[in-house]
Amino acid sequence: MTRASTQLAAARQLDAQRRHRRQRRARKRLFFEKFDLESGTDGVRKATGRAQQFGSVEFEALAEASERERRHTLIAAYCCHFDIVALWHPTTFLSPHTSRTIVTMPVGSIPAITGKLRKRLILDLTVALGGGTALGYGYWYGVHVPSVARRDAFYAKLQSERSE
């Protein structure tokens, strides 16, 4: 390979990496904009990322199309829906009538636990479990058992004084 072709291959590879990064950022931005509840569009965005205005024909069509997406939100408080009927009746064994919906988690937004993060996580868990075990052991044999022994000795002494 000549020097020019090597440089051309390196430039193409760098260009492909940059394009991939741009596409990944755009996908991530579109994903998070879809669930942007602070915007005035109730979380509905067009593929361009531009917020649609209430009352426009575009917005109405988009709202109907994305109803299924908005039904399963990422907010955990929305996992249980109560029927209106259940709100007017006292709670019995059969009511309230709740229907649970699955809170969808987009798997693509959860990074894989690999490499340094996994090693750090294992180290943190090991230290936490070891430290918790040591603290529990210290409390049990340093505080709990002696206090129970003192209490038992006190009541044994009290019992012996009463029987005399």
Q: What is the mean pLDDT of residues 144-162?
A: 96
Q: How far is CA 37 from CA 12, 43, 73, 107, in A?
A: 40, 5, 10, 20
Backbone angles phi, psi at 81, to 5 degrees: -115, 130
Q: Tell me how far apart the alpha carbons of residues 161 and 113 are, in angstroms, rounded to a whole number.
A: 65
Q: What is the mean pLDDT of residues 139-147?
A: 97
pLDDT over 70 at 21, yes or no: yes
Minimal CA–CA distance to 63: which of 80, 51, 74? 51
pLDDT over 80 at 162, yes or no: yes
**Any alpha helices (H) in the chain, and if so which ranges?**
3-34, 57-65, 67-71, 84-87, 115-139, 145-163
